[in-house]
A and B are shown apart, each in its own frame.
Chain A
Amino acid sequence: MIKIDSLRIELAGFTLQDIDLSIQDGEFFTLLGPTGAGKTLVLEAIAGVTPITSGRIWVKGRDITHLSPEQRGIGIVYQDYALFPHLSVLENITYGLRYHKADLQASRKWIKKLMAQLGLQALSQRSIRHLSGGEKQRVALARALAVNPSVLLLDEPLSALDPNFREEIREVLKKLHQRLETTFLMVTHDFAEALFLSERTAVLNRGNIEQVGRISEVFRHPATLFVAEFMGMKNIFPAIFKDTKALVENVGLDLEVPPGIHKGLLAIRPEDIIIRKKKFSGNGMNAFQGKVLDVIDRGPYNDVSVRIGDVIFSAMLGKNDLFELDLRNGKDVHISIPASAIHVLKNQDISNSDTG
């Protein structure tokens, strides 16, 4: 288990603070957040390559806060691969072996297996200069895993790759994690990546953790305005609550459970708003009549804005739906919003949020 307790790092013009995390053994955990949120700093603090101001870090019950990086047994894979340019593929992968001599025979066997799994045998004598991005990242993974680290830190491992390699390495990461007992901790700014790979996530913003939880939970039920926006929620409105009713301007909505607060923000994912030609209601469904204001082509999908009462909602529709519904600006439509899709941002203090 990785346990981080009140970690604080002060750098010129940036403070990472109140970082408390526990990550289970063998888990695939992601640190999500925009550029500059401090994700990489958390990673480098765990690796021991950046000085921390205060706080403690444990790995498998061992306090590693004051250990040097080489004593921690934690592997790291960077976005830019950080391969040693003066060494061949094999020399890169076996770099750490001499420091883990316990069983050289077993280590060699393990490396052979690892290289086979990652499809690197044919490249072993190559110079790393002539490898593709995907190959480089596979070498970097093999190098880090060669010494059997208890934790593997991944710093945006997919970001520098071309889209086809990105998919390849994403699969590789998933398979490796399933096969190994190593804990994977990945930093990313792409919630789709996190959703595909990880079980749990922590969302960081400006040096603070905004929310920790199961990735599906964070995705469906963001706790703060920042997380909601980061996870792609679009319909975020101030609302007044009473029991299971919510009032946004002059639009009343039924909620699934009483939010327990009087005033706050609610949020609805654009893909949860259903647009039909005919009225579509039922249990737990908020049904309205509305008007299409705008349709924007986004390639694989379309952004559709609709007006219900005084409120403008954003919906997301696939090509087929759009064609079938024959949506045009000004068209009257039926709109349904499931009560279960309406989410209240309980942790968001609305006094300092500016949603207009």
Chain B
Amino acid sequence: MKTKRKIDPFFWIAAFSSFTVVVFILFPLIEMVVQPSFQDLKETIQDPDVVRSIWLSIYTSGLAALISFVIGTPFAYLLARKNFWGKRLVESIVDLPIMIPHPVVGIAILGLAGKNHWLGNLMQQVGIHIMGTVTGIVTVLTFVGLPFYINTVKTGFEAIPVRLENVSRSLGASLTGTFFRVTFPLAWRSMLVGIIMCCARAISEFGAIVIVAYHPMIAPVMIYERFTAYGLKYSQPVAVWLIVVCLVLFLLLRIFSMPKEKRA
């Protein structure tokens, strides 16, 4: 005779909470995506301003990720491998951009870049302008995206046994040789994930951007502007396109970063 197994109440709690979370995230997004008519979407994507701002969003975020990759990788390696006095403090500093309210980030950067500050003064003399420029946008996006890159890649480096590097060096490889022949081939996936995290954070930045560079308009600023000037109906199609483009890009990167065996 079959005995009916009693289901633990925790199962129902877990099932309920999973369902709530998924619906909470998906419902507003799905509603927004299906509300604009096909005609609206078609007209929006034919608008050169929209295409320009989405493209600007993507390539400034990409640049921010690239900069994070270049300056963040050695730093993440250092944090993963070495213990030094004040390491906790340095790690907290890296996390600061995650905690600071976004407009505060904008104000802080603007304060440095202004003519009243010696650094801003110097930069303007050599022709670097932050206020209202692509340079400004990339600066802000790097500022907010860098911690995500560094933390992800640091975890990736930590997962590689230090003994592999020890063996490599005992066989004659220098620190640099070891990094490129052992560490990098084992860590590039986590770097790619770090780039995705950094890009994702950068693309969603709004608060700091409106202060530093309202123009040229990145996609979130354009969506905000269309919302305040013309209302919900007019801003939704732009938002849909931004979501679609980002989704495709991130999906591609995710697939690329998966181990070969799992890719199928």
Residues of A that sit less than 8 Å from B by CB: 44, 47-49, 68-70, 72, 74-76, 78, 80, 82, 84-86, 95-96, 98-100, 143-144, 146-147, 149
Contacts and interface: CB of A to CB of B under 8 A. Distances in A.
Nearest to B186: A86
B70 to A, nearest CB: 23
A96 B173 contact: yes
B182 interface: yes
Interface stretch (B26-34, B110-118, B142-150, B159-167): B159-167
Given A82-B161, A84-B182, A86-B185, A76 B167 contact: yes
A99 B161 CA distance: 22
A31 B233 CA distance: 76
Contact of B170 (A47, A85, A86, A98): A47
Interface string B61-80: 00000000000000000000
Given A70-B177, A74-B170, A99-B177, 5 more contacts: A49-B169, A68-B175, A70-B170, A76-B170, A84-B167
A156 to B, nearest CB: 12
Contact of A44 (B161, B166, B172, B185): B166
25 contacts: A48-B169, A49-B166, A68-B169, A68-B175, A69-B169, A70-B170, A70-B171, A70-B174, A70-B177, A75-B170, A75-B171, A76-B166, A78-B163, A78-B167, A80-B161, A82-B161, A82-B166, A82-B167, A84-B164, A95-B173, A96-B171, A96-B172, A99-B171, A99-B177, A147-B171
A144 B169 CA distance: 11
| Closest 9 pairs between A and B when the two form their complex, measured CB to CB | A99-B172, A96-B171, A69-B169, A82-B163, A49-B166, A76-B170, A86-B185, A82-B167, A96-B172
A40 to B, nearest CB: 10
Contacts of A75: 170-171
Contacts of B155: none
Contacts of B177: 70, 99
A85 B186 contact: yes
A86 B185 CA distance: 7
Nearest to B175: A68
Given A78-B163, A80-B161, A80-B163, A144 B170 contact: yes
Most buried by A among B161, B164, B167: B167
Contacts of A70: 169-174, 177
Contacts of A146: 171
B157 to A, nearest CB: 15
A205 B174 CA distance: 34
Contact of B164 (A82, A99, A147, A149): A82
Contacts of B166: 44, 47, 49, 69, 76, 82
Contacts of B172: 70, 96, 98-100, 147
Interface in B177-194: 177, 181-182, 185-186
A86 B174 CA distance: 19
A98 B181 CA distance: 12
B170 A69 contact: yes
B151 interface: no
Nearest to A76: B170
Nearest to B178: A70
B170 A72 contact: yes
Contacts of A95: 168, 171, 173, 181
A95 B186 CA distance: 15
Contacts of A96: 171-173
B149 to A, nearest CB: 22
Nearest to A95: B171
Contacts of B173: 70, 95-96, 99
A144 B181 CA distance: 17
Contacts of A80: 161, 163
Contacts of B168: 84, 95
A32 to B, nearest CB: 22
Contacts of A84: 164, 167-168, 182
Contacts of A143: 167, 171
Contacts of B167: 76, 78, 82, 84, 143-144
A85 B174 CA distance: 19
Nearest to B160: A85
A155 to B, nearest CB: 9
B186 to A, nearest CB: 6
B161 to A, nearest CB: 6
B12 to A, nearest CB: 40
Contacts of B171: 70, 75, 95-96, 99, 143-144, 146-147
A64 to B, nearest CB: 12
A129 to B, nearest CB: 10
B223 to A, nearest CB: 43
Contacts of B161: 80, 82
Contacts of A49: 166, 169-170
A17 B128 CA distance: 57
A288 to B, nearest CB: 53
A350 B167 CA distance: 43
Contacts of A98: 172
Most buried by B among A44, A69, A80, A98: A69
A143 B167 CA distance: 9
